[in-house]
Amino acid sequence: MGNPNKPTRARDPRIAAVVNQNGCTGCEACLTVCPVDCIEPVPGPDAQQPAVLRLVEIDQDRCIGCGLCPKICPWDTITMEPYPASREIAVAYTLRSVVPGHAAGVPSEMIG
C-alpha cells in the first residue's frame, strides 16, 4: 500500500528505484527529478533529532522505473532493481519510513 494521498500508477514497471538509506544524506536532489513525486522526505534516524540528517524513501507502489533519480544522486545510493523484487530490497534498505504499509522504520502517525 503506497501513499493514499497520491495517485497510483497505471501498471507495474519492469524495474523500480530503491534507496539505501544507510548511504543517503538527505540532500533531496532526487526529489527534483522524479516525474511522479514518489520520493518522500523522511525524518533522520536519530529519534531525538529527526530534523538532523534527513533521509528519503521511494514509494514502491508509485515508482514508474524512469531511472532519473539514480543518475542525479551524488552519493550513488539509489539503484534500479527488478520489480517486484525491488519491494523486498527496499524494505531491507529502509531505516525510517513514512509510506503507509512499509514494514521498516516508524509508523507515519508517530512522525510529527
Render pLDDT for 22-78 as a digit per residue (tens, 0 to 9).
999 999 999 999 999 999 999 887 767 766 778 999 999 999 999 999 999 999 999
Whether residue 24 lies inside any domain: the answer is yes
Whether residue 32 lies inside any domain: the answer is yes
Q: Out of 10-14, 37-41, 68-72, 95-99, pick the least confident.
A: 95-99
- How many domains in the chain? 1
Whether residue 60 lies inside any domain: the answer is yes
Whether residue 72 lies inside any domain: the answer is yes
Domain containing 80 — which CATH number?
Answer: 3.30.70.20
The DSSP-derived string for 58-106 is E-TTT-----HHHHH-TT--EEEEETTHHHHHHHHH-SS--STT-SSS-
Whether residue 78 lies inside any domain: the answer is yes
Residue 14 in this model has a pLDDT that exceeds 80: yes
What's the chain's length in residues?
Answer: 112
Residue 107 in this model has a pLDDT that exceeds 50: no
Whether residue 41 lies inside any domain: the answer is yes
Whether residue 100 lies inside any domain: the answer is yes
Rg (CA), the chain: 13
Domain interval for residue 47? 15-104
Whether residue 10 lies inside any domain: the answer is no
